A and B are shown apart, each in its own frame.
Chain A
Amino acid sequence: MTPNVLAAITALITFIFVGDLLRRGLLKEKYAVLWLFFAGTALFLAVFPSVLTEVSALIGVAAPVNLLFFVTIVLLVLVAVQLSYELSRHEARIRRLAEEVALIEQRTRSLDPPAKESRSDDDGHHDS
């Protein structure tokens, strides 16, 4: 029974850790939900290991642990790809923002030239 207890404790810790990150607003729901689902599933399988055995037998996998590893690896790869996708999207957006900021900065500079030229007369005039 010890391995199952260990798995259950690990899943529980993950659950609490992710839950806390979510509570403190450090993790967005869409990512938190995923990890909570993983932890929840792990916890469920730790408490009811017979489910894994039965599913393995149903699919025809000889060693239930292999099914567990296979599914886990597939899911983790999917998460990694999803994160790469999010990262690419953010890079593209940041690049676009950088371009816009640069153009806006140039535009403001051309409308409002540096102090030595525009602030020559001391009464603060606000026309552009």
Chain B
Amino acid sequence: MIAIPAWNEQGSLGAVVADVHEHHPEAGVLVVNDGSTDATAQVAADAGAHVVSLPFNVGVGGAMRTAFLFAKRNGYKALVQVDADGQHDPADLSRLIDGLDSADIVVGTRFHENSMYFVGGPRRWAMVLLSKALSAMNKRPITDPTSGFRSAGPHAIELFSVNYPAEYLGDTVGSLSIAIRQGLVIEEAPVTMYYRAIGRPSKNALWSALYLGRASLALIATLLQRTSPTKGDTN
């Protein structure tokens, strides 16, 4: 199953769903409409996706936990998360799905030899630091822990349908930390990243410091959590 969390993405979502359908006509596509105020749900339904609409905005983490719940209850064995803004290339989907043969989670990394993706300055240092911390925990490299292009196998679906952080960066960095602590196998695969059509906000040193701080907090919060999921899904 391909899960696309979307918040006010009516402009790009239709093309993304169509693109995914074209590459993987056999896969179910679920759009989690995260409290959008525009026509996101309609666009998704028209493009032929399953649509689950949250009554208000809960953030990417909440949208993704809904997707994991949906996958679990509908018997899906694999879930790939794709962004609604079109920055992920559906051509990479196969690589993320195939990776699940030997791993519970495959993270698409934007940092590899043939990558066009480049970040510099303090933001880069922040990402390197996060990557180092998670790689050390994982005992194998996770070069791009904040990547939102990733796949999850049955064990990860089971875990994440119960416990998936809602906070900013918790959904990327925090979820990996939770998975590592539960003993899931995390691998990575190279992916292509398209820059967003809409301009990114300029990121300065202060922004990077805050970013690192929040990411560290997200990481530490999951590290302090008790390992056994206590607030279980009762269904």
Binding site for B on A (CB under 8 A): 92, 95-96, 98-99, 101-103, 105-106, 110
In the complex, what residue of chain A is closest to B57 when comparing beta carbons? A98
Q: Quick check: A99 and B51 within 8 Å, CB to CB?
A: no
Interface check B55, CB cutoff 8 A: yes
Q: Quick check: B231 and A102 within 8 Å, CB to CB?
A: no
Given that A99-B66, A99-B69 are known contacts, is A105 also in contact with B53, CB under 8 Å in the complex?
A: yes
Q: Quick check: B50 and A102 within 8 Å, CB to CB?
A: no
Q: Quick check: B53 and A92 within 8 Å, CB to CB?
A: no
A81 to chain B, nearest CB (A): 16
Q: How far is the CA of A92 from the CA of B225 in the complex (A)?
A: 15
Given that A92-B231, A105-B53, A106-B51 are known contacts, is A98 also in contact with B73, CB under 8 Å in the complex?
A: no
Q: Quick check: B62 and A98 within 8 Å, CB to CB?
A: yes
Q: How far is the CA of A43 from the CA of B148 in the complex (A)?
A: 58
Q: How far is the CA of A96 from the CA of B121 in the complex (A)?
A: 38
Q: Quick check: B70 and A103 within 8 Å, CB to CB?
A: yes
Q: Quick check: B231 and A99 within 8 Å, CB to CB?
A: no
User: Could you jot down 7 A-B contacts, CB within 8 Å?
Assistant: A95-B58, A95-B62, A99-B69, A102-B55, A103-B66, A105-B52, A105-B53
Q: Quick check: B55 and A103 within 8 Å, CB to CB?
A: no
Total contacts A-B at CB 8 Å: 37
Q: Which residues of A contact B62 (CB under 8 A)?
A: 95, 98-99
A100 to chain B, nearest CB (A): 8
Q: Quick check: A102 and B52 within 8 Å, CB to CB?
A: yes
Proximity string of chain B (53-68) to chain A, C-beta cutoff 8 Å, 1 when within and 0 when not = 1111010001001100
Q: Which residues of A contact B166 (CB under 8 A)?
A: 95
Q: Quick check: B55 and A106 within 8 Å, CB to CB?
A: no
Q: Quick check: A99 and B50 within 8 Å, CB to CB?
A: no
Q: Which residues of A contact B231 (CB under 8 A)?
A: 92, 96
B233 to chain A, nearest CB (A): 9
Q: Which residues of A contact B52 (CB under 8 A)?
A: 102-103, 105-106
Q: State which of A98, A105, A110 has its C-beta within 8 Å of the C-beta of B58.
A: A98
Q: How far is the CA of A8 from the CA of B52 in the complex (A)?
A: 57
Q: How far is the CA of A17 from the CA of B151 in the complex (A)?
A: 56
Q: Which residues of A contact B66 (CB under 8 A)?
A: 99, 102-103
Q: Quick check: A106 and B50 within 8 Å, CB to CB?
A: yes
In the complex, what residue of chain A is closest to B33 when comparing beta carbons? A102
Most chain A CB inside 10 Å of its own CB: which residue of B52, B62, B70, B231: B52
Q: How far is the CA of A106 from the CA of B56 in the complex (A)?
A: 15
Q: How far is the CA of A110 from the CA of B49 in the complex (A)?
A: 12
Known: A95-B166, A102-B66, A103-B73. 8 other contacts (CB 8 A): A92-B231, A98-B55, A99-B65, A99-B69, A102-B32, A102-B52, A103-B52, A106-B51
